[in-house]
Structure 1
Amino acid sequence: MTQETVAATTDAVLDREETMSRDELEALQLSRLQHTVAYAYDRVPLYKRKFDETGVHPTDLRELSDLGKFPFTTKEDLRLEYPFGMFAVPQHEVARIHASSGTTGRATVVGYTKKDLADWAKLVARCLRMAGVRPGMKVHNAYGYGLFTGGMGAHAGAEALGCTVIPISGGQTERQITLIQDFKPDAILATPTYLLTIADAMAKQGIDPASTSLKYAVLGAEPWTEEMRHELEVMMNIKACDIYGLSEVMGPGVAGEAVETQDGSHIWEDHFRPEIIDAFDSSIVLGDGEPGELVFTSLTKEALPIIRYRTKDLSRLLPGTARPAHRRMGRITGRSDDMIILRGVNLFPSQIEEIALRIPELSPHFQLELSRPEGQRMDQLTVKIERRESVTVEGSAAAARTLQQQIKIHVGSSCTVDVVDPGSLERSNGKLRRIYDMRPKA
């Protein structure tokens, strides 16, 4: 770590809740949790119905472990209550509405009171400060604005921290580069794959991505690996930290990573109670350190309290480090709905990224194509991945064989690897699509 980075992490004034002991934090959690389950039961018909059907009542929550008695909330619940059935306050108290894209079904709609928005901005500000961003810095916000929570959530947090925000949103990569060159921001907020797109586009223009004013990147909205972090930090001469969130729970800012440790995102447990459940048996709540599906309960939300929301993100809970009382999330290894089952083997795109970026001839740009050739009963996986600019055809062939072997060794399944020319695969303008299902529809 440079002296500049160390200085950036030691001059921050922390919120009182960031410095609580674990005992103090858990006492606060229990008080807020008891209020939240009663509040949701009284104000949201879905929760009253689900609690009654399960045979559980808010008064049954006497200690934190009792949360496991309560039913889960799923994305399908939010879709069934579309548009405003999950709201716990009257319409005139809802200050803002966000929603998912609805590309895989009916959109999920989330709402915020003025207090919710203030809490959200405060938590995003915590994440940015922990990632090295400081008041007075210029922040280039390349998260998408609109109904997606990323752009406006990150924007409000940066303003709450006291930064100057450049609200460019996603896309328009050439303009992004121009503004980075002209406005000289200190930090950038984006998805990791879109930052990679920006860096590649700079290099093609003859601009050294490491020569810009950028010092910090706060990246989220999609799973990414340590190998991707290393790629971006070396290419752009920055420190890159994770930020985690999802619209149904709040948006970005549920958890964030510390620049001095870069060892996973600390969950702001004064506002959210996390659990890990067995990915195959949801009735089993796992202990810290065990991998499974991440579940969140909100502790302070007014417009849309959320009880035991199943995120489908696969992770584990670890002891806090930079913020000792607040547990960390292990890096997201994938989403249960992004999992490919190939000949009985579970496979995630992040596994391919991790393996591929250890092979010097291969770039981070790849796609996974699932197909089922005519007359065959077994699915076929093809990994399409770009070679680096300096790699020859012979080098590409050798790299393809290496990747194929490493996937077989580390994942346990065979695949085809197609190394393609630089720039030939789709680039991210926000969240990148990795999986292309070419199998015939039933």
Structure 2
Amino acid sequence: MIWNQPKECMGREQMRALQGERLHKLVERVYHNTPFYRRKMQEMDVTPDDIRTVDDVVKLPFTTKQDLRDNYPYGLFAVPMSQIVRLHASSGTTGSPTVVGYTRRDLAIWSEMIARCLSAFGTDCNDIFSVAYGYGLFTGGLGLHYGVEHLGATVIPMSSGNTAKHIKLIHDFGATAITCTPSYALYLAEAMAQAGIPREEFRLKTGIFGAEPWTENMRREIETKMGVNAYNIYGLSEVMGPGVSHECACKNGSHIIEDHFLPEIISPDTLEPLPYGEQGELVFTTLTKEGMPLLRYRTKDLCSLTDEPCPCGRTNVRMSRIVGRSDDMLIIRGVNIFPSQVESVILEMEEFEPHYLLVVDRVQNLDSLEVQVEVRDGFYSDEVSKMIGLRQRLAARLHSVLGLKADIKLVEPSSIERSEGKARRVIDKRILH
């Protein structure tokens, strides 16, 4: 079932025309209502009349997370506070929180977007959803909550935490779908196995995961352990929240909801636009957002775009999986490394659990990388020779993929700290020195 066929199956030229029309209106709105953007555009000698088609987007200034922090809390809002009906914000762990405001229309659009995503995953009004993203200032919980209601399905507003109770309610309430981070899905799958309830007694069939990068190997791991069909949902609070893009039954990239968001891929180094198929930094312009519209927001997420037809019938441009973040990239002895590369190797080997930690340090001016990884039950051994052999195989495989030698530390099952939210994968001690 396609939720909004006129928009999801729109011809490319028709979509570009719609985006161009909405882009012009957006630029007029922020030029007159947001002093930050008016000043930026005046510095670049650009007026709203210069922006007529989607091709003109390159004339506009970029927006960064630092711009949001510098204008904390309401400096980027384009409407008076009397029209803002909800606020969300990031945790602010690296400075002031990034605050996002929504009008009533923004929330209505967001709910419809999420309903499109859920429909693409094959769910409908007969499903019962456990929404296990965090509620509160984080956009995940409330974003999915209202989208599920818009679909006409049933919500169990679990939020995160209290895993034992969560398992009981999934079982007793007959939940058929779950939404959470992929790392929490793995943690939950382990806890479900330990709860002593036969898996066939659970009705879960669909898993909707996002808020952190995950690999195809991790998808297979979740599907095997939870017995669900696992789908990716993508979004970020600055742009709207979850639902900016979504997979379909084909699982060959995530369809961007292009009637509301104009995507670009740029080189993180030169900031020049890149063509479809080339990997770079993902940039979004919010075409319809009223409360806090953004021009060319640099997400720091690295991926590629394609406009090749999808067998599902949707024509919206698709984005590849996020391979990492330009600001999460580790540079170790001159080598660029992303945690997802390490995860991919670990999950290729049956001996390991999908739980790992990268510890980066600097000793006598030389960077070092230690990879801590859990060995599965049945493979962990007291025999030193077996463990040495396993460590050497993983080290060799990582070296071939990363081009860098890593120290491998094999640890017992369940010894790496689990997370009920986003998993912590990296400890960079160089930053702490």
TM-score, shorter chain, exceeding 0.5? yes
Closer, same or farther: CA 41–210 of 1 in aligned 2, 3 Å: farther
Residue 394 (structure 2) aligned to one of 398, 403, 407: 403
Closer, same or farther: CA 210–431 of 1 in aligned 2, 3 Å: farther
SS at match of 2:100: strand
Contact 2:3 2:119 in 1 (8 A): no
**What is the match of residue 427 of structure 1?**
418
C-alpha distance in structure 2 between counterparts of 1:440 and 1:82, whole Å:
26
Contact 1:368 1:435 in 2 (8 A): yes
SS at match of 1:66: helix
State the TM-score, normalized to the length of structure 2. Answer: 0.96
Residue 390 (structure 1) aligned to one of 372, 378, 381: 378
Q: CA deviation at 1:440?
A: 6.6
C-alpha distance in structure 2 between counterparts of 1:41 and 1:440, whole Å:
39
**What is the match of residue 4 of structure 1?**
none
**What is the match of residue 266 of structure 1?**
255
- Give 1:57's aligned amino acid: T
- Give 2:379's aligned amino acid: V
**What is the match of residue 151 of structure 1?**
141
C-alpha distance in structure 1 between counterparts of 2:106 and 2:52, whole Å:
26
Aligned-residue RMSD, C-alpha:
1.3
Contact 1:210 1:235 in 2 (8 A): no
**What is the match of residue 34 of structure 2?**
44
Q: CA deviation at 1:397?
A: 3.3
**What is the match of residue 60 of structure 1?**
50
- Give 1:132's aligned amino acid: G
Closer, same or farther: CA 240–177 of 1 in aligned 2, 3 Å: same
**What is the match of residue 182 of structure 1?**
172
Closer, same or farther: CA 262–211 of 1 in aligned 2, 3 Å: farther
Contact 1:98 1:149 in 2 (8 A): yes
Contact 1:134 1:163 in 2 (8 A): yes
Contact 1:384 1:418 in 2 (8 A): yes
- Give 1:25's aligned amino acid: M
C-alpha distance in structure 1 between counterparts of 2:189 and 2:325, whole Å:
26
SS at match of 2:366: coil
C-alpha distance in structure 2 between counterparts of 1:25 and 1:397, whole Å:
57
Contact 1:141 1:167 in 2 (8 A): yes
SS at match of 1:286: coil
**What is the match of residue 428 of structure 2?**
437
Q: CA deviation at 1:65?
A: 1.4
- For residues 9-63 of structure 1, the C-alpha deviation after alignment (integer angstroms, 9 at most, x for no partner) is xx45534211211111111111001111111111001000111112212211132
Contact 2:19 2:53 in 1 (8 A): no
**What is the match of residue 287 of structure 2?**
299
C-alpha distance in structure 1 between counterparts of 2:197 and 2:429, whole Å:
37
C-alpha distance in structure 2 between counterparts of 1:195 and 1:365, whole Å:
12
Contact 1:363 1:387 in 2 (8 A): yes
- Give 1:42's aligned amino acid: H
- Show structure 1 runs of 5+ residues with no match: 1-10
- Report percent identity of matched pairs: 49
Contact 1:79 1:106 in 2 (8 A): yes
SS at match of 1:285: coil
Residue 276 (structure 1) aligned to one of 259, 265, 278: 265
Residue 85 (structure 1) aligned to one of 64, 75, 84: 75
Closer, same or farther: CA 440–226 of 1 in aligned 2, 3 Å: closer
- Give 1:310's aligned amino acid: R
Range with bigger deviation, 309-318 or 228-237? 228-237
C-alpha distance in structure 1 between counterparts of 2:93 and 2:313, whole Å:
37
Contact 2:3 2:115 in 1 (8 A): no
- Give 2:281's aligned amino acid: E
Closer, same or farther: CA 172–396 of 1 in aligned 2, 3 Å: farther
- For residues 258-306 of structure 1, the C-alpha deviation after alignment (integer angstroms, 9 at most, x for no partner) is 0x20111100000000000002111x10000000000000010001111
Aligned pairs, number: 428
Residue 196 (structure 1) aligned to one of 174, 181, 186: 186
Q: CA deviation at 1:439?
A: 2.9
**What is the match of residue 299 of structure 2?**
311
**What is the match of residue 7 of structure 1?**
none
- Give 1:285's aligned amino acid: P
Contact 2:171 2:201 in 1 (8 A): no
Contact 2:21 2:53 in 1 (8 A): no
- For residues 174-205 of structure 1, the C-alpha deviation after alignment (integer angstroms, 9 at most, x for no partner) is 11111111111110000000010000111223
- Give 1:265's aligned amino acid: S
SS at match of 1:379: strand
- For residues 216-246 of structure 1, the C-alpha deviation after alignment (integer angstroms, 9 at most, x for no partner) is 0110000000000011111122110000000
SS at match of 2:408: strand
Closer, same or farther: CA 440–235 of 1 in aligned 2, 3 Å: closer
**What is the match of residue 417 of structure 1?**
408
Residue 344 (structure 1) aligned to one of 334, 355, 375: 334
- Give 1:217's aligned amino acid: G
Q: CA deviation at 1:104?
A: 1.0
C-alpha distance in structure 2 between counterparts of 1:440 and 1:15, whole Å:
49
Contact 1:44 1:88 in 2 (8 A): yes
State the TM-score, normalized to the length of structure 1. Answer: 0.94
C-alpha distance in structure 2 between counterparts of 1:247 and 1:12, whole Å:
25
Contact 2:24 2:51 in 1 (8 A): yes
C-alpha distance in structure 2 between counterparts of 1:56 and 1:392, whole Å:
63
Residue 275 (structure 2) aligned to one of 277, 287, 296: 287
C-alpha distance in structure 2 between counterparts of 1:340 and 1:126, whole Å:
36
- 1:226-265 superposed matches below 5 A: 226-258=216-248, 260-265=249-254
